[in-house]
Chain A
C-alpha cells in the first residue's frame, strides 16, 4: 500500500510539475540519448578504454575513433541480458548505491552487486577487446 502510494504521488507531482513548467525538451528521444551517452561515458572511464589503434595519428581522426569506441561499447551493451543492463543503468545512470540496487533487484547483499558489476566489467572488456578496443586494465 505504501509503495503504491509513493509511486502514485510521485506520478501526480511530476504531472503537476510538467503542466506548470513544461518538459525540458519536446524531443522525445533526447532523454534516452542523454542517458545512453552518460552510461557509455561512465563505462568508458570505468573500463579505462583506449581509442582503437590505428596507423594514422592525425588529430582529425580523433572524433572518428571516439565514435568507434562508443559504437563498440553500444554493441557490447546491446548483447547483455536485460538484468545485467539494468544493473549497469541503475548504477551509472540513476546513481543508485549498491545497497539500493541489491534491495531493488533482490541481490543478497551490496557485496553481491559489486561482484556482479566487476564480472560485467570483465565481460565488457572481453567483448570490446574482440572488437578491437583495448582497456588499460587487463
Chain B
C-alpha cells in the first residue's frame, strides 16, 4: 500500500533541498520544462548525487526508446509492457548498454582522418580482467564500428559491432589473466567506405 503514496498527485514541481529529487523535478528536468534557475539548481544536485543522476540518465534513455506517437499521452495498453520492460531493464541491465543506442550521425569530433584513433586502453596498457573498456575517437559519417580482438598469436578471440565509440566487452568473454591481446576498430561510413585503426596491444592483469 505504501506505493500508492508514490502515485499520489503532487501539488506541483518544486526544487527541494532534501537529499533526492522529487519525481516531478526529475520528470521536468528530463522534459526540459524547468525555468533556468530551477534547472541550474537541479544540475548542481545531479553533479553530486549519483542516485539521482542515474535515475535521470536511465529514465531519459528509456523514454527515448518509446514510439514517437506516444507523445504526451501514453495509451494504457502500453503501460503494462512498458512497466515490464522497465523492470527487465532495471534488473538485468549491465554496462554494455551502449549497444542498444540507435546509430547517431556523428559529425566533427577530433578527426576526419581515414584512420580511427584509439583512446583506451593505451598501447601496452594493463587492464583489469573484469571490465576492460575500449574507447576510440569517432570518424565523420560513421554508421557503426566493429571491435576486433585477437590473441598475441593473431588468432581471433572476439568481435562485436557497436554504434557509439565505447565498448565494454560482454561478461561471457573471458580474457585470460596475464595474457596479451591485440585489438583494432573498423568503422563503416554511410557512403559505404570504411576506416580502420592501427592495431594496439594490451595486457590483462594477473
Q: Which A residues are closer than 8 A to B by beta carbons?
A: 1-17, 31-32, 35, 42, 45-46, 48, 82-83, 85-86, 89-90, 93-100, 103-106, 109-111, 114-115, 118, 136
Contact = CB atoms under 8 A, between A and B. Distances in A.
- Number of contact residues on B: which range applies? 35 or more
Given A1-B74, A9-B82, A82-B43, A15 B3 contact: yes
B62 to A, nearest CB: 5
B61 interface: yes
Contacts, number: 150
Contact of B74 (A5, A11, A86, A118): A5
Contacts of B110: 114, 118
Contact of B79 (A5, A17, A118): A5
Contact of A6 (B48, B59, B133): B59
Contacts of A118: 110
A114 B43 CA distance: 19
A106 B121 CA distance: 30
13 contacts: A4-B24, A5-B82, A6-B63, A10-B86, A10-B90, A11-B55, A13-B91, A32-B50, A46-B135, A82-B40, A93-B50, A109-B107, A114-B106
A86 B63 contact: no
B6 A12 contact: yes
Which of B73, B86, B120, B122 has the most chain A CB atoms inside 10 A of its CB? Answer: B86
- For the complex, would chain B's binding face be called helix, strand, loop or mixed by DSSP majority? helix
A5 B86 CA distance: 11
A86 B104 contact: no
B109 A114 contact: yes
Interface stretch (B64-72, B151-159, B169-177, B191-199): B64-72
Given A48-B122, A82-B47, A97-B164, A3 B59 contact: yes
Contact of B23 (A4, A89, A110): A4
B186 to A, nearest CB: 19
B95 interface: yes
Interface string B140-169: 000000000000000000000001101010
B54 interface: yes
B83 A13 contact: yes
Given A8-B23, A13-B86, A45 B135 contact: yes
A9 B30 contact: no
B7 interface: yes
A101 to B, nearest CB: 9
A8 B6 contact: yes
